[in-house]
Chain A
């Protein structure tokens, strides 16, 4: 019996209890009945984990099957954050850093912490500290396993470039997908931490190379460790497709070695000798046989995680250094210099304005303003001779007669103002100036200058008028102002005419490859290849076929004619013949170099204003061989390499020697093995075999300068190309209206007197 006096309390306690249990029950009902499906999913997510199995990327091999990019299995040291207590983390990191630091100096505690911070989203996933750890280090870590909670040593497949730096700009490199990319490529099944192609072929053919990741569904316990024998489903990864390139690995090696030597030689002479690019094309197909860019890199060092050293050297070079991560062969534009002369020549011949019989006398300067200097006095020259000795006077005259429209039409026929369409990311189109482009570019500049001058004049006279003391003085000032306005207008018209309108000298400069002409090495190579093969402009390509992991060909890339140039074959043949004179004719600018070869080479040298300072000229060189039945074309440039014949010419020569088997003849064994490999090179090289027995050309003689030692002064060129100074040298407006609008004020500062 409950005491009466306590009945209130009794009831209160009973109700309190009921309330408490009601709350608990209601909550239980919502959890277990309403929200059960949500929590069931969460429990599943807890329990099962999809462990991704990274697919090996597809191999990249050259035309002979030589492996350029592959995969290898490496030991990887990672940290699984979830398996370390917070307080142990720092200690573990320091310990691990201590154990790795002496072998891999780039790893210290700060570096590991940064890696963890950058990948902290999922604490149960391992964060890679170092890939490709040596066996010694692995055993060192294993011994101290107890001190290193959460440190995991696993095997992993990583990208591997067995040839190191070879063809680095072509192959590219891979990097970890960024958050932005992940958002942009949502429907492509990428996930955080995936590696994607970042540059070159790795980027261009990413969707083929990446393969399909596999996974393993396992049951895991709370620390993320798979429970033994619990793999429920395993889907094996599928390796990416294999790229078979048109590239010839041996030729590429020769090209790169020769390029390095050329750069080293320049450095010995005190020139920068750091940057350059070269391209070798098969003229019959447009296939890229070799291509290089300097400075280059080792893509192995860019496989994540990237060490600070590699990141700084390659990805974030200090200001002023020549950047590495640009394929200069396709992404940098250079003035072509004299290698443009064949275009001018074709324009003149095709328009019928010159004939091969006609001669022109070179007295060391052109006879029309601005009286551009030739690089030496060539005397009487015809077309072939002019090409061989690279006479500026002759080609200025040829260009003048052909006219700018004809020159640019020919340049356009050869695709110099377009991208070649090579299968690499980042190609830029070359460019040249035309009258329309010049006006569009510089017209507004002059207009702006004019408005500014008008404002100044207004202001000046407003001030003077305000200070005027009498009506008469005011009238005088107003009259003066009228005159001043008239003078300024004349000044402006002259200036506009000169700066924005096409001037004869613009055509002259263009004729020998200066002015605002800028082309990529691949553009130049393709132009030479087009010339060599008789006018078929091909699309250069690097990948000839793609095979899936079973070896089945899933894509084949065939030679593709982009355009047939609208130039008569007679003209083409004449120009080819003239280029042959460069490399084989008497006094040819590159003859000294190619004389000893058993096959005929056609070439054109170039020494182009770099715009980087006095005396710094880019060495440019284009060539093809053999002259009669051309097979390969070469174009190369060395930044600040001075004369193309001296800096780049030897590189071309080495490439040709390798291609036509001259190097191989000294190593017959090697050639045999190559033949055995079933490639088509021996057949390709046949012409050289037939040409070999021919007697070598007699050594050059006569008035020809000594090969290689010619202190040939660089062609004297107007300093600023077609960009006349806009600031206006003619400070005195009164004077300018009495002068002819052009000619007397050559932008290049060549003295006005005719020699």
Chain B
């Protein structure tokens, strides 16, 4: 998967900048960094992390808060901080931190999550970092946080029916709010107009083919025109002529679809299925609830990322701007995912105490 990422990136970024391999090199660097990070993570017993729950939660909040103050803005979001030569995105690493501390938080409430009343503290605990992410204008990551939250609650033993009700209720509320926003009442929403437009335009991209619907249309054209065999690396006109925006990050799957065709895209889906399916296995083979919740959180995160990102490139999901794990270009995200891999391996390796 990582090799594939480098390969596709080399084509997707060939037309950006003077050094056609600039992005590939950076990505490779991050992968290597990520591998070391994963190894480092594996070597520490994850059970010890419970102790640092409050510390991690604190660091998470500070990081998210700092980025609001000194962060770099990009695409209307303020989510980067400069770390030497690198731009660093704390909300990515925040995903891991939130998973770890929420896991620790839930472990303490094991078996006490049956009623709605019991869930409220969990939501409160979660809503602070979530609020900060929303405040950064990063809707995609916010949704990922929500997915993580519900996935972990489910694994922690909350009643599925109750969770479904809450989820369905909020979705209905969101739709209602959108409807009111566009009605003559103009209900004010904490979202920018461009975000709302992107959220709803996937239903019919032709509402605004030059504006909000443009990305979807170009992505559909890219993937559709790839056909079974694809146009070959470096030969996708949609990619190489820049018709497809963000093609090395959010729309990397469209590049795969156009240049490697159904063969490549199907293969990528297959690989993801293996990863997800193995993660599920690891989740249920974890020796304790804490480990299970961590892997479960990661599982929720990945599954949501995959569904959301690929779904958006093929017109099934709204555009929220979240990258595809392991494939998209992006250092923080790559690092995050590698650490996740490390955590999962860590938990899986320690499923039976005898091993170490």
Partner-B contacts on A (CB < 8 A): 1-3, 6, 9-10, 13-14, 16-18, 20-21, 23-25, 27-29, 31-33, 35-36, 38-40, 42-44, 46-47, 82, 86, 123, 219-222, 227
Cβ A46 vs Cβ B243 within 8 A: yes
* CA distance in complex: A636, B276 (Å): 94
Number of residue pairs spanning A and B whose beta carbons lie under 8 angstroms apart = 119
Q: Which residues of B contact A3 (CB under 8 A)?
A: 284
Set B224, B284, B307: member contacting A9, Cβ < 8 A: B284
Q: Which residues of A contact B310 (CB under 8 A)?
A: 24
Cβ A28 vs Cβ B284 within 8 A: no
Cβ A40 vs Cβ B266 within 8 A: no
Q: Mostly helix, strand, loop or mixed at chain B's interface? A: helix
- Smallest CB separation, B70 vs chain A (Å): 26
- Smallest CB separation, A225 vs chain B (Å): 10
* CA distance in complex: A401, B161 (Å): 113
Q: Which residues of B contact A2 (CB under 8 A)?
A: 281, 284-285
* CA distance in complex: A222, B280 (Å): 42
Whether B272 sits at the interface, judged by CB under 8 Å, is: yes
- Smallest CB separation, A228 vs chain B (Å): 13
Q: Which residues of B contact A31 (CB under 8 A)?
A: 220, 223-224, 257, 314
A-B contact pairs, 5 of them (CB 8 A): A10-B283, A20-B307, A29-B262, A32-B262, A40-B225
Set A25, A43, A44: member contacting B269, Cβ < 8 A: A25
Cβ A43 vs Cβ B227 within 8 A: no
**Contacts known (A28-B257, A46-B237, A46-B241); A21 close to B223, Cβ less than 8 A:** no
Cβ A43 vs Cβ B223 within 8 A: no
* CA distance in complex: A277, B142 (Å): 79
Set A6, A14, A39, A44: member contacting B224, Cβ < 8 A: A39
Cβ A222 vs Cβ B242 within 8 A: yes
Whether B222 sits at the interface, judged by CB under 8 Å, is: yes
Q: Which residues of B contact A6 (CB under 8 A)?
A: 284, 292
- Smallest CB separation, A83 vs chain B (Å): 12
* CA distance in complex: A21, B266 (Å): 10
Q: Which residues of A contact B315 (CB under 8 A)?
A: 27
* CA distance in complex: A23, B276 (Å): 15
Across the two chains, which residue of chain B brings its CB closest to A81? Answer: B210
- Smallest CB separation, B317 vs chain A (Å): 10
Q: Which residues of A contact B307 (CB under 8 A)?
A: 20, 24
**12 further contact pairs, Cβ within 8 A, besides A20-B306, A28-B262, A221-B241:** A1-B285, A2-B285, A10-B280, A17-B276, A20-B307, A24-B310, A27-B315, A33-B228, A43-B238, A46-B238, A220-B241, A221-B243
* CA distance in complex: A10, B210 (Å): 44
Q: Which residues of A contact B210 (CB under 8 A)?
A: 82, 123
Q: Which residues of B contact A221 (CB under 8 A)?
A: 241-243
* CA distance in complex: A43, B272 (Å): 28
Set A13, A21, A86: member contacting B299, Cβ < 8 A: A13
Q: Which residues of A contact B71 (CB under 8 A)?
A: none
Chain B, residues 231-270, CB within 8 Å of chain A (1/0): the string is 0000001100111010000000000010001100110010
* CA distance in complex: A603, B226 (Å): 82
Whether B316 sits at the interface, judged by CB under 8 Å, is: yes
Q: Which residues of B contact A21 (CB under 8 A)?
A: 269, 272-273, 276
Cβ B221 vs Cβ A39 within 8 A: yes
- Smallest CB separation, B238 vs chain A (Å): 6
Set A17, A27, A44, A222: member contacting B314, Cβ < 8 A: A27
Cβ A36 vs Cβ B154 within 8 A: no
- Smallest CB separation, B250 vs chain A (Å): 16
Whether B155 sits at the interface, judged by CB under 8 Å, is: yes
- Smallest CB separation, B200 vs chain A (Å): 19
Q: Which residues of B contact A39 (CB under 8 A)?
A: 220-225
Q: Which residues of A contact B238 (CB under 8 A)?
A: 43, 46-47
* CA distance in complex: A10, B284 (Å): 7
- Smallest CB separation, B212 vs chain A (Å): 12
* CA distance in complex: A35, B44 (Å): 50
Cβ B243 vs Cβ A28 within 8 A: no
Across the two chains, which residue of chain A brings its CB closest to B155? Answer: A9
Across the two chains, which residue of chain A brings its CB closest to B299? Answer: A13
Cβ B266 vs Cβ A28 within 8 A: yes
* CA distance in complex: A24, B281 (Å): 22
* CA distance in complex: A42, B222 (Å): 9
* CA distance in complex: A38, B225 (Å): 8
**Contacts known (A27-B316, A40-B225); A17 close to B303, Cβ less than 8 A:** yes
* CA distance in complex: A515, B168 (Å): 88
- Smallest CB separation, A15 vs chain B (Å): 10
Across the two chains, which residue of chain B brings its CB closest to A2? Answer: B284
**Contacts known (A31-B314, A36-B227, A43-B222); A24 close to B269, Cβ less than 8 A:** yes
* CA distance in complex: A714, B324 (Å): 96
* CA distance in complex: A47, B221 (Å): 11
Q: Which residues of B contact A33 (CB under 8 A)?
A: 227-228, 262
**Contacts known (A3-B284, A43-B237, A46-B243); A24 close to B225, Cβ less than 8 A:** no
Q: Which residues of A contact B211 (CB under 8 A)?
A: 86
* CA distance in complex: A18, B237 (Å): 33
* CA distance in complex: A161, B268 (Å): 65
Whether B277 sits at the interface, judged by CB under 8 Å, is: yes
Across the two chains, which residue of chain B brings its CB closest to A223? Answer: B242
* CA distance in complex: A583, B222 (Å): 84
Cβ B284 vs Cβ A24 within 8 A: no
Cβ A28 vs Cβ B241 within 8 A: no
Q: Which residues of B contact A18 (CB under 8 A)?
A: 273
Across the two chains, which residue of chain A brings its CB closest to B257? Answer: A32
Q: Which residues of A contact B227 (CB under 8 A)?
A: 32-33, 36, 40
Across the two chains, which residue of chain A brings its CB closest to B210? Answer: A123
10 shortest interchain CB distances as A-B pairs? A39-B224, A43-B225, A36-B227, A32-B262, A2-B284, A47-B237, A39-B225, A222-B242, A40-B225, A10-B284
- Smallest CB separation, A593 vs chain B (Å): 69
Cβ A24 vs Cβ B228 within 8 A: no
Set A1, A42, A222: member contacting B241, Cβ < 8 A: A222
* CA distance in complex: A33, B230 (Å): 11
* CA distance in complex: A40, B218 (Å): 12
Q: Which residues of B contact A123 (CB under 8 A)?
A: 210
Cβ A32 vs Cβ B222 within 8 A: no
Whether B321 sits at the interface, judged by CB under 8 Å, is: no
Q: Which residues of A contact B218 (CB under 8 A)?
A: 46
* CA distance in complex: A341, B284 (Å): 116
* CA distance in complex: A727, B299 (Å): 99
Set A17, A28, A86: member contacting B277, Cβ < 8 A: A17
Across the two chains, which residue of chain B brings its CB closest to A82? Answer: B210
Cβ A9 vs Cβ B154 within 8 A: yes
Q: Which residues of B contact A1 (CB under 8 A)?
A: 285
- Smallest CB separation, B295 vs chain A (Å): 11
- Smallest CB separation, B248 vs chain A (Å): 15
* CA distance in complex: A221, B15 (Å): 11
User: Using a CB-CB cutoff of 8 Å, which residues 134-157 of chain B contact chain A?
Assistant: 154-155
* CA distance in complex: A399, B166 (Å): 105
* CA distance in complex: A181, B265 (Å): 48
**Contacts known (A6-B284, A43-B237, A220-B241); A24 close to B277, Cβ less than 8 A:** no
Cβ B280 vs Cβ A28 within 8 A: no
Cβ A36 vs Cβ B228 within 8 A: yes
- Smallest CB separation, A113 vs chain B (Å): 18
Across the two chains, which residue of chain A brings its CB closest to B304? Answer: A20
Across the two chains, which residue of chain B brings its CB closest to A27? Answer: B314
Whether B311 sits at the interface, judged by CB under 8 Å, is: yes
* CA distance in complex: A219, B240 (Å): 11
Cβ A222 vs Cβ B311 within 8 A: no
Across the two chains, which residue of chain B brings its CB closest to A35? Answer: B224
- Smallest CB separation, B89 vs chain A (Å): 25
Across the two chains, which residue of chain A brings its CB closest to B265? Answer: A28
Q: Which residues of A contact B243 (CB under 8 A)?
A: 46-47, 221-222
Q: Which residues of A contact B221 (CB under 8 A)?
A: 39, 42-43, 46
* CA distance in complex: A1, B262 (Å): 35
- Smallest CB separation, A122 vs chain B (Å): 10
Cβ A36 vs Cβ B311 within 8 A: no
* CA distance in complex: A25, B221 (Å): 17
- Smallest CB separation, B157 vs chain A (Å): 9
